[in-house]
Structure 1
């Protein structure tokens, strides 16, 4: 009997150790799905860079698997079906519409939208009005009399059109709604005088244009920013060739979200690693350098408790509304 008892005790110890080992292994291999944008876009490239940063920063213990997306509405919609460690990007305002059951979510409401939680900001969609000429910083009124390409169907096109109406420039600017992808060549060839585009900065199409043609950027006044109701964004001097002054413009904040289904430890590790690797990411791709803790003020809704734990430990000020 004693022999049998020792055997049973030994077996229990082995099973306990095995279970503990399995638990530790599971914790050390956290897998997340990251959904942001379609391949070939700046935001998909950011996903690639973020995935590499998280893998490096956790010594491979956490991995992000990228999935293509057709945009933020799809990202939010998938919250209805996704389980576990689902991470996605969206403007905060769109998430608020999902919670309220308004806008694109009016006909597809779900209680799961209430479970969405914020993690950290990623580079914003920043408005650029690029104007041919030797003046590196222009006023909004300087667009009068110009032939402006704004593209069609995109956030940048909608904002550009809204601003022209808001500031009394409708009818004073010749608007072209051709594909914004053709804008750099059209401007170089003299077919247009200016174009509007929205992207995280430095925007590849603006880099391309400024590298081979004298251009300037429209800089808003503080009161103009306030009138748009959009978030302000400063594009630092030297971001683009030939533009040696800071440019004040507008932006659409973009945030990495998850849901309350993600456990606190995973959310904490992901958030901590993002901020710890942000500077290194910025050395490779400048758009990460535009991220700062101050951008938490642009978030809406609640932070994930795991993310909030990191911000509190790091001494980062968090608005009460996010707690």
Structure 2
């Protein structure tokens, strides 16, 4: 379990307030996100700080490192009412149906999972040096591309190369994704593939250090991938004069029915009320809006539903 200094300091401050008899009853929540080196862990820290600020210290969130979304779902079996975790909604559905990586691992607690709010989606970026002259996937033929290893972006990038007829026609660079920007700048590679919330830090760095193009997918290609269509607005990255149409994997913060309606309500309400302030410090929060609510394909927690009704959000029958 890993704590940030900010969160630990917040906990001490609230403890002092309680000792003085000035604080209200305090709720403690564990937020399980991703590896500590990832942007999603950073988002967890930002959510923790936003909850402290938005509730005047009445909700304390402890951010816990995770090895991935599957682990987050599996831990529902042993966790209590204070557990919040992030994962793509598709994984929750697979867990509840006992399919794929959850085959033979079904558990009644999976049926108790309920959504709270969406967070920034995993967004595919196909970044190439402008000098490479790549305007479409067909133009990747003969180019040297860095996919990385083991990540969602690497797996998805490989799938798209195969899907769009480029298997064996692209040279895959044996370079770590962490070295992508330097490799692109010095001409070792023609492009790289990365997945993360936009604006992605490595894409910002690449666009700032050299001229780049970011591929758009056609609607037909997006339909073939069976992923969610997402538009990165023009101007998100340096030199980006037009919208980029790409694919994404939605990610949502979940709890279970063990969590009280009042706590789920407070978490959801505070998240949306603090979203704009979070966006001032980290632009990826600006990509979260009411339109992302449709990416929640399962049931929403009753406490969160109370907030959404109060705030005038439109919910589907399946979410209720």
Q: TM-score higher than 0.5 here?
A: yes
Find the aligned partners of 2:174 and 2:103 in 1 and give their Cα distance.
29
1:153 Cα offset (Å): 1.2
2:304 pairs with 296, 299, 307, which one?
A: 307
Q: Is the 8 A contact 1:136 1:244 kept in 2?
A: no
Establish whether residue 73 from structure 1 lines up as the match of residue 49 from structure 2.
Answer: no
Output aligned runs, 1:182-193, within 5 Å.
182-193=179-190
Aligned length, in residue pairs: 301
Find the aligned partners of 1:236 and 1:247 in 2 and give their Cα distance.
7
CA deviation string 1:105-142 (max 9, x = no partner) = 11322110110000000001100000001599832222
Establish whether residue 169 from structure 1 lines up as the match of residue 154 from structure 2.
Answer: no
Q: Which residue of 1 aligns with 2:286?
A: 289
CA deviation string 1:38-80 (max 9, x = no partner) = 1121001001111111111111111111111111111111100
Find the aligned partners of 1:107 and 1:183 in 2 and give their Cα distance.
39
Q: What SS is found at the alignment partner of 1:300?
A: coil
Q: What SS is found at the alignment partner of 1:198?
A: strand
Q: Is the 8 A contact 1:125 1:199 kept in 2?
A: yes
Establish whether residue 88 from structure 1 lines up as the match of residue 89 from structure 2.
Answer: no
Output aligned runs, 1:216-295, within 5 Å.
216-295=213-292
1:165 Cα offset (Å): 1.2
Find the aligned partners of 2:133 and 2:297 in 1 and give their Cα distance.
35
Q: Which residue of 2 aligns with 1:28?
A: 25
Q: Is the 8 A contact 1:136 1:243 kept in 2?
A: no
Q: Post-superposition, which runs of at least 4 consecutive aligned residues in structure 1 deviate over 6 A? A: 24-27
Q: Which residue of 1 aligns with 2:137?
A: 140
Find the aligned partners of 1:167 and 1:189 in 2 and give their Cα distance.
28
Q: Which residue of 2 aligns with 1:9?
A: none
TM-score normalised by the chain length of structure 2 = 0.90
Q: Is the 8 A contact 2:72 2:85 kept in 1?
A: yes
Find the aligned partners of 1:212 and 1:166 in 2 and give their Cα distance.
31
Q: What SS is found at the alignment partner of 1:196?
A: strand
Report the aligned-residue RMSD. Answer: 1.9
Larger Rg: 1
Find the aligned partners of 1:269 and 1:245 in 2 and give their Cα distance.
38
Find the aligned partners of 1:191 and 1:242 in 2 and give their Cα distance.
22
TM-score normalised by the chain length of structure 1 = 0.89
Q: What SS is found at the alignment partner of 1:320?
A: coil
Output aligned runs, 1:205-216, within 5 Å.
205-216=202-213
Q: Is the 8 A contact 1:136 1:242 kept in 2?
A: no
1:278 Cα offset (Å): 0.6
Find the aligned partners of 1:260 and 1:171 in 2 and give their Cα distance.
48
Q: 5+ residue gaps in structure 2?
A: 1-20
Q: 5+ residue gaps in structure 1?
A: 1-23
1:155 Cα offset (Å): 0.6
